[in-house]
Structure formats: structure tokens, C-alpha cells
């Protein structure tokens, strides 16, 4: 299972470094070919943030080349819709370092989703782009189809201030953003912990927030997860149509009933179908239009009540 704080690490093998250096040089001389133009135009120059300057040349990775850059974890970017990334290091005049990554995703929804996947919900909220979180020496924000990650290498005040200043410089260069996906508003607002919201595009992301131990019935188009102040979890899976949703629910229900990891509680009255997982948590599943609503809580009553809130 992936961690939302999983760090990106560059390959250390000399021959890989040589190959990537040659590739970066080639990218510098070949036009981008993308509608948005070259990513280098979004990099802050040496005068953008006082005391900070670029350290060496940027690296660019596109499509499946992401696997050469990320040592584990590239799959989740692909699941959301990765297009390309540019990486640039910065160094301060006091020898502090920051790494900047600008990911271009397939859509604003993909960028928003990857942002929600990476944030912990425990950091400081900053006014950058469509949303930003600063935690320790790690800053993430999204704007339009772009996800920006800045990573420091210590928690010194200068480093943290540099993260925020470089983030603002990037944000000012990026194109205008877009709204979060419409599915987010399907989460009832009362009691919702907004920093807990995660937008999902596939089974890999879903299993990171709750493992169903089955792929049956999980071919959803998009999903969202939220925590509530009363302790319940709500997951909404959207299948794009009522028939697709119902067929998926039949598959999912069968998968849960035969998995051996879930049991059916007895003697309850509700429109939803409930299970108890191996950790003693109750999950209740109900059908609502094109969506499946899944409530999770330590008590059956709360799990059922959570599902009943979705219309």
C-alpha cells in the first residue's frame, strides 16, 4: 500500500544518470510538441526569489519515462493520468537546497486527485493555486492540470520560507486553474473534515484508502473519500450510469461475500447491505443513482446512517 508521503528518489546508478543527462540535453533542443508549450517556462529564474538560484540544469520526463525517475510509486501517477514532469533544484546563498517538481497531468481532475493523494491532511494550508499543504519541509499544491511539489532537505526556517517563496513564484507563472471535480460535492458537508478528502481514479488509489481485497465490481470512473468528525468514513464510487453501477454492485457484493475477510451481520433493517471486516469495522453499501455509497464505522448503526445521507 502506498503512502501519501512517499518521496521521489532519483536513480543513483552511473549509467542511468548518463542516459538521463543525455535525454535532458535532447529535450532542451527539441520542441515540446505539447499544446501547453515547454514546461521550462514555469520555472522561477535566478532573480525570482531573493537568495535562491537554480542549481544545475533541469530534467524532464514524459510518459513511461517517469518510471526511470521515480524509484517506486510511478503507477499511481499513471492511474490518475500523468503526462510529463520537469525537475529543477535550487540552492540558497546560505547553502540550503530545495527540489522543485512540476507535473503536468492529463486534466485538472487528475492534478487535483494527485494532490489529494499526496497530502497528509496534517500540514498547514496555504493560499496557492486550487489548494496547497505545507508540512515539515514538503509543499504540494495544484493549479489547473499542474501538480507542484517542492521538497526541502531540512526544516530550517530559511528552507521552509524558500519552499513557500518558490511555490508562489511557480504559481504566478502557471495558467489559470479550474474547479475541483463535481463528485466532491456529493460528500455531505456537515461534519466533513475537508482536509481528509481524497479524489480517486482507480483501484490502486482506492486500496490505499480502504482495501476491499477484490477487483470485482471496481471498474468505477471516479471516486471520492471523506472522513467525518463523528468518526465515520464515506466512500462514493461513480460508475457513470445506473446499469453499470448495478452490475458492478452485484459483482462487488459477490466478491465480498466469498472473500473470507468479511462477514454479514444479522438482524438489521436498512436499505443498505452491511458487512463486518477483519478489523471489526462495519461497512454498509447502498445504491444511489449512478453511484455506490459506502459507509465505514466501528458501529453498524453509524455505518448505515452514513450511507443513508447520500442521495
Instruction: Give tens-digit pLDDT for 82-99.
Output: 999 999 999 999 999 999
Does the pLDDT at position 31 exceed 50? no
Structure confidence at residue 37 (pLDDT):
82
Structure confidence at residue 267 (pLDDT):
84
Which DSSP category does 217 fall into? T
Dihedral sign for Cα 64, 140, 205, 239, please. Answer: negative
Residue 71 confidence class, pLDDT cut points 50, 70, 90: confident
Instruction: Looking at the structure, give the CATH architecture of the domain made up of residues 182-308.
Output: 3-Layer(aba) Sandwich (3.40)
Does the pLDDT at position 19 exceed 80? no
Residue 50 confidence class, pLDDT cut points 50, 70, 90: very high
Distance of alpha carbon 248 from alpha carbon 229, whole angstroms: 30
* Cβ density class 117-149: b for 16+ within 10 Å, e for less: bbbebebeebebbbbbbbebbbbbbbbbbbbbb
Domain range annotation of the chain: 14-173, 182-308
Structure confidence at residue 6 (pLDDT):
38
Structure confidence at residue 36 (pLDDT):
58
Check if 14-173 and 182-308 are the same fold: yes
Place of cell 475541483: 180
Does the pLDDT at position 228 exceed 60? yes
Which DSSP category does 290 fall into? T
**To 5 degrees, how large is the angle CA 130–CA 47–CA 36?**
45
Does the pLDDT at position 107 exceed 60? yes
Does the pLDDT at position 184 exceed 60? yes
Q: Are 196 and 226 in contact (CB under 8 A)?
A: yes
* Domain 14-173, CATH: 3.40.1000
Residue 66 confidence class, pLDDT cut points 50, 70, 90: very high
For residue range 110-161, what is the model confidence (pLDDT) as tens digits? Answer: 999 999 999 999 999 999 999 999 999 999 999 999 999 999 999 999 999 9
pTM of the model: 0.86
Does the pLDDT at position 18 exceed 50? no
Structure confidence at residue 34 (pLDDT):
44
Amino acid at each position: 500500500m502506498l503512502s501519501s508521503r512517499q518521496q521521489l528518489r532519483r536513480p543513483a546508478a552511473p549509467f542511468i544518470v548518463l542516459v538521463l543527462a543525455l535525454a535532458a540535453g535532447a529535450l532542451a533542443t527539441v520542441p515540446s510538441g505539447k499544446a501547453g508549450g515547454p514546461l521550462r517556462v514555469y520555472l522561477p529564474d535566478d532573480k525570482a526569489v531573493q537568495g535562491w538560484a537554480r542549481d544545475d540544469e533541469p530534467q524532464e520526463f514524459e510518459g513511461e519515462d517517469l518510471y526511470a525517475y521515480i524509484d517506486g510509486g510511478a503507477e499511481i501517477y499513471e492511474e490518475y493520468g500523468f503526462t510529463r514532469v520537469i525537475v529543477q533544484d535550487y540552492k540558497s546563498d546560505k547553502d540550503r537546497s530545495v527540489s522543485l517538481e512540476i507535473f503536468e497531468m492529463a486534466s485538472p481532475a487528475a492534478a487535483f486527485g494527485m494532490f489529494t493523494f499526496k497530502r497528509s491532511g496534517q500540514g498547514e494550508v496555504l493560499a496557492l493555486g486550487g489548494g496547497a499543504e505545507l508540512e515539515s519541509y514538503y509543499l504540494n499544491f495544484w493549479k489547473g492540470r499542474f501538480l507542484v511539489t517542492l521538497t526541502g532537505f531540512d526544516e530550517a526556517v530559511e528552507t521552509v520560507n524558500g519552499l513557500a517563496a518558490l511555490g508562489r513564484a511557480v504559481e504566478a507563472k502557471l495558467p489559470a486553474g479550474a474547479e475541483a471535480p463535481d463528485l466532491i460535492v456529493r460528500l455531505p458537508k456537515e461534519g466533513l473534515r475537508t482536509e481528509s478528502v481524497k479524489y480517486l481514479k482507480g483501484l490502486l488509489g482506492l486500496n490505499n484508502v480502504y482495501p476491499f481485497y477484490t477487483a470485482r465490481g471496481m471498474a468505477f470512473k471516479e471516486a471520492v473519500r471523506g472522513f467525518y468528525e463523528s468518526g465515520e468514513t464515506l466512500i462514493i464510487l461513480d460508475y457513470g450510469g445506473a446499469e453499470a453501477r448495478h452490475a458492478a454492485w452485484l459483482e462487488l457484493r459477490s466478491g465480498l461475500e466469498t472473500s473470507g475477510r468479511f462477514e454479514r451481520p444479522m438482524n438489521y433493517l436498512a436499505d443498505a447491505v452491511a458487512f463486518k471486516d477483519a478489523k471489526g469495522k462495519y461497512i454498509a453499501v447502498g445504491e444511489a443513482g449512478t453511484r455506490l455509497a459506502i459507509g465505514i464505522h466501528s458501529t453498524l448503526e453509524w455505518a448505515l446512517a452514513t450511507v443513508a445521507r447520500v442521495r
